Structure 1
Amino acid sequence: MATILDKARRTTPDVADTPETTGASGLIDPTAISRKTRSSSRVPRSAQRLLGPVLLVVAWQLTASSGLSGENVLPRPLSVLTAAWRLIANGELQEHMTISLLRVGNGLLIGIVLGLVLALVSGLSRVGENFVDANMEILRAVPNFALVPLLIVWFGISETPKVLLITLAVAVSIYINTFSAIRSVDAGLVEAARSFGVQRRELIRRVILPGALPGFLIGLRLALTGAWLSLIFAETINAKRGLGRMMSDAREYFQLDVVFVLIAVYAILGLLSIFIVRALEARLLTWRRSFDGN
């Protein structure tokens, strides 16, 4: 049996033994193996990810063409594209989208800063956790839409409640994931750093924050999704401009083609947000190797 196994090893090429996967010292470079596996496909990974949406559009076209549903129930993709072109040509879509992007941008900026500060206060100190954590858990448990009447009473129907609703959703997502990531940092690494005489400030900067970075990026991904969901609720607060206002008008006038255009806009904006976070992960987490589905 041993002789057979030896012959198999000599005759079977091993990817780990190729020059590309071995360094100058003769040791195997696992990152090179991963790169070679990913580069074996000629189709870019970004293009492969579009397979699901493409199949969804094909199924939509087949369903609309088969006559199973009328135009007043499920408009054809061509009708939706025509409506999108009309909204772009007259500038209506760009005008409403600009207002919504400003609201989301302001809410994201304030929410990320607020969530990070609260996560650091709570994650690095038990006293801070006693004051902050329970309140943030309560905010997470309360549906976002339930806060709309309260925000209207407090701040009226100006831009403040709209931005604040987005801010709260973003801050909660950032806080929950970052706080959990801080408390999940390997205690062995912390003890090892302390045994070498590392001071608290250096410990936080060199050990805890890098260890919590993956959790923060997960929170950022959820925060971006939550921001777009909160935007829909926020723009029900007497908004004269915005994608949510367009959606309300299209619903009232039963313009299904416009509704589908806005759904596609929300989907595209959400996908772009996810791609931005993935790019950040690829740049900031180069030191971390993880299973990528190979």
Structure 2
Amino acid sequence: MSATPLKIARRTSGVLIILALWELSTAVLGLFEPNVLPSPATVLTTFEDLVAHGDLVGQVGTSVRRALIGVVLGVTTGATLGALSGLWRRGEDLIDAPVQMLQAVPFTAIVPLFIVWFGIGELPKILIIAFGAAFPMYLNVYGAIRNVDVKLVEAARVFGLTKPQLIRHVILPAAVQPALVALRQSMAISVVALVAAEQLNASSGIGFILGQAREFLRADIVLVCIAIYAALGLTGDLIARTLERRLLGWRRTYRGA
């Protein structure tokens, strides 16, 4: 379904209301000091200055590259482990318990360990993002496979499907929709992990700009960085939603009242 102007207006209304209240409380009513909470207009001006006179575009590109590599690595690993654990009981015995243990560990807690193992270069940053992005994919793929209706499996066997054919034509298609939901979750978590990863002595990326802004108490630049992180998360969600519409456009689902 294509986005109509009315639909776009509805989807952006909440953000516009927040921006209006923010502008009212800062620029109009002056409830906050400019150095504590700048107005949206000030933040926009700062963004334009960073683009025009700084290397903001290049720094954002660096962060996007980190996030993309980490998401691809994490999603691939999570989907593979979820499929192995869901399809074979021995795979579940070997994989599920360690994954569930690691899932309980916040990815921020493994930052010191990754520094010891891999230093402070690009590799630990990418691995932190991959670590955070892998678990939603694993859980959803594993759960989707194990929740396939047993009647479908029995019917497929009656029609003579071999085990590889059963996996290809019955089980894996049933896991597509949960996997796409997991992709949206992984995209969102990857941005959170990116923020944590770029605190590892980053010399480039949005986190580098954020660190400098924090040192010089530049709340306007901090808000620009936060807005960019939010935009990256939204972009990732839109990509996952687009894939879901393209791959599952034939499904008729409830869209709300």
TM-score bracket for the superposition, by shorter chain length: over 0.9
CA drift of 1:49 comes to 0.8
In structure 1, how many angstroms separate the alpha carbons of the residues matched to 2:72 and 2:130?
8
In the other structure, the counterpart of 1:250 is: 213
Q: Describe the SS at the equivalent of 1:49.
A: helix
| Residue in structure 2 matching 1:229, options 173, 192, 210 | 192
- Alignment partner of 2:49: what SS? helix
CA deviation vs aligned residue, 1:265-284 (integer Å, no higher than 9, x gap): 11111111111111111111
| Max Rg structure | 1
Is the counterpart of residue 191 in structure 1 residue 169 in structure 2? no
Question: How far did 1:44 drift?
Answer: 4.0
Instruction: Write out aligned runs for 1:96-135 (5 A).
Output: 96-135=59-98
Identity of aligned residues (%): 43
Q: Distance in 1 between matches of 2:160 and 2:100?
A: 35
Count of residues paired in the alignment: 256
Deviations 1:74-103 (A, max 9, x none): 101111011000110024211211111111
Is residue 210 from structure 1 mapped to residue 155 from structure 2 by the alignment?
no
Query: 1:163 pairs with 119, 126, 129, which one?
Result: 126
2:36 paired residue among 70, 73, 76: 73
**Aligned partner (choices 8, 13, 16) of residue 54 of structure 1:** 16
How far the C-alpha of 1:199 sits from its partner, in A, is: 1.1
What does 1:134-145 correspond to in 2, within 5 Å? 134-145=97-108
Structure 1 residues 139 and 46: CA distance shift in structure 2, 3 A: farther
Report the TM-score, using the length of structure 2 for normalisation: 0.95
1:278 to 234, 241, 252: 241
Unaligned runs of 5+ in 1: 1-34
Alpha-carbon distance in 2 for matches of 1:138, 1:249: 36
Could you tell me how far 1:186 is from its partner in structure 2? 1.6
Tell me the distance in 1 between the aligned counterparts of 2:252 and 2:150. Answer: 20
Match of 2:50 in 1: 87
Matches within 5 A, 1:15-26: none
- 2:196 matched to 1:239? no
DSSP-derived class of the 2:120 partner: coil
For CA contacts below 8 A with separation 6 or more, give which structure has more relative contact order. 2
Matches of 1:132 and 1:189, distance apart in 2: 26
Provide the C-alpha distance between the structure 2 equivalents of 1:118 and 1:44, rounded to a whole number of angstroms: 42
Report the RMSD for the aligned CA atoms in angstroms: 1.6
Match of 1:268 in 2: 231
1:100 match: secondary structure: helix
Amino acid at match of 1:292: R
- Give the superposition deviation at 1:244: 1.1
- Report the AA paired with residue 61 of structure 1: E
